Chains A and B, each alone.
Chain A
C-alpha cells in the first residue's frame, strides 16, 4: 500500500474516530488525556488543547463516581453508569466502557475509553418514575376520596331503611334498595379497578407450581359456597408451571368462578379443567363449561376492562375478572383466548411459556 493510500485510510479512520456517535478517549499512566474524539469534546464543551495533556480524565468525572471510575482501570472491561462534568457546568450521564491493552502502553495509552450518551435514557427513566408516582397518587386518591361518599350513600340509606322504613311505602323501600345496591356495586368496582392497577406494578415471583393441587384447592373452596347446586367439576392432571403463585391462583379463581357463575342457569353444571402439550411444544391450560357462553362476534370484548357481555340482572359482575386474567398471563409472556357459543358453553385457554432451564 502506498503512502497516499495509507493517508486516505488514515483520514477515513480519523473521520470515523472523531465523528462516531459515541465518545472515545485515552489516558496515560498518570491519568492525563492522551486523545479525545470530537464527539466527546463537543459533549463536554472543551477544545482539544484544553484537555490533552492538561487535564486528567478524573477531572471531568462527577466526584461521586470517582471511586468506581478508578476501579474500572484495573478491570479488563466494564460498563459503568456515571456522570461527566461539562466545562460550563452541568452533568452528562454516560455509559462508560474501558479497555486496558498492553500494546497501547507503547503508545503511552494506558486505558482506552468509550462513552455513550445516556441522557435521553436517564430522562425517560425519570419520566417513568414520575408517572409511576402520579399513578400511585391517583390510585391512593381513588381508594380514599371515592370511598368516603360511598360510605355515606350506603350508611344514610341504611339509616333510612332501619329507622324510617315505616314511613316509606313499597316503592320507596324499593328505590332505597336500588340506591344501596348501586353503592355496593361501585365499591366493588373500585376494589377491582385498584386490584387491576396494582397487578401492573407488582413484580412477578416465579416458582414451580403444582397446578393440579392449586386448582383442586380452589375448586373445593368455590364449591363450599355453592352447596345448593349440582356442579360436576373434573380436574385432569395438569402440567406444572413456572409462574407467580399468587397471580396464578387469581387466574384460576377468576376462570373457575366465571365457569360456576355462567352455568348457574343449567340443571347440571359441567366444568372440565385440562392441560396438554401442543405439537409446537406449548402447554395449553383450558377451562370448559356448559354455561351460558357468548356470541363469538363479541369475543374481542371479552378481556377488556369493564366489558360485559351479559346483563347485570342475569349474571352479576364488574367486568374486571377476565381483564385481570389477561394482564397476569401477559405479564408471564403467555397468551389467553376463548371460544364460545351462546347458551351452549365457553372454553377459556391460556399458555405459560416453558422456561428453557426448567424443562
Chain B
C-alpha cells in the first residue's frame, strides 16, 4: 500500500459531541491536522476497504458502541484482513465491561482506553494517545 491521501488519524465515533471533545483535545496539541471523523462502523468499513484508499492511517481511534456496525465488528474485519491488520487500533470507549476488553484483545487490538467522564482526564488521555501513536510510535510502512 502506498501512503498518500489517507488521514493520519481516523476517529470512528458515532456521538458527535464525544467526537468534538476528542478533536478539540487533539487540536490543543496540534495533532488534528490530518484527522478524519467517520460516524459509524459502516462508514468506517466503507472508507477503509474502498479501492481508492492508498495509504494507511497511523492510528485508528475506535468507539465500541455504535449503531449498525459496532466497533467490535470493525475491529474483527480489520484484524482479519491481511493488508489492514497492521494498522494500529486503539479502542476508545465508555465500556469497562470485562467481556468487551477481552474480546477486543482477542481480536488483536493495540490498546484499550476507557473514556474518563472528567474532561481534564479525558483531554489527558487523548493527548497521551496522540503523542504516543503519532509522535513516539514507529508505524508500519
Contact = CB atoms under 8 A, between A and B. Distances in A.
Contact of B17 (A140, A152, A187): A152
A184 B94 contact: no
Contact of A151 (B24, B96, B97, B117): B117
Contacts, number: 44
Interface string B85-99: 000000000111100
Contacts of A154: 117-119
B27 to A, nearest CB: 11
Interface residues of B, number: 18
B119 to A, nearest CB: 4
Nearest to A191: B117
Interface in A167-192: 184, 187
A170 B123 CA distance: 26
Contacts of A149: 17
A157 B117 CA distance: 13
A155 interface: yes
Given A147-B117, A150-B117, A187-B117, A155 B97 contact: no
A148 interface: yes
Contact of A143 (B15, B17, B94): B94
A158 interface: yes
B24 to A, nearest CB: 6
A150 B118 CA distance: 9
State the majority secondary structure of interface residues on B.
loop
A159 B24 contact: yes
Contacts of B24: 155, 159
B15 A148 contact: yes
A148 B65 CA distance: 11
Name the residue among B15, B21, B95 with the largest chain A CB count within 10 angstroms.
B21
A156 interface: yes
A151 B122 contact: yes
The 4 closest A-B pairs by CB, nearest first: A155-B119, A152-B17, A158-B119, A155-B21
Given A147-B94, A187-B118, 11 more contacts: A144-B65, A147-B117, A148-B15, A151-B18, A151-B21, A151-B116, A152-B21, A154-B117, A154-B119, A155-B17, A187-B117
12 contacts: A144-B94, A150-B117, A151-B21, A151-B94, A151-B119, A152-B18, A154-B119, A155-B21, A156-B21, A157-B119, A158-B120, A159-B24
Interface of B: 15, 17-18, 20-21, 24, 65, 94-97, 115-120, 122
Interface of A: 140, 143-144, 147-152, 154-159, 184, 187
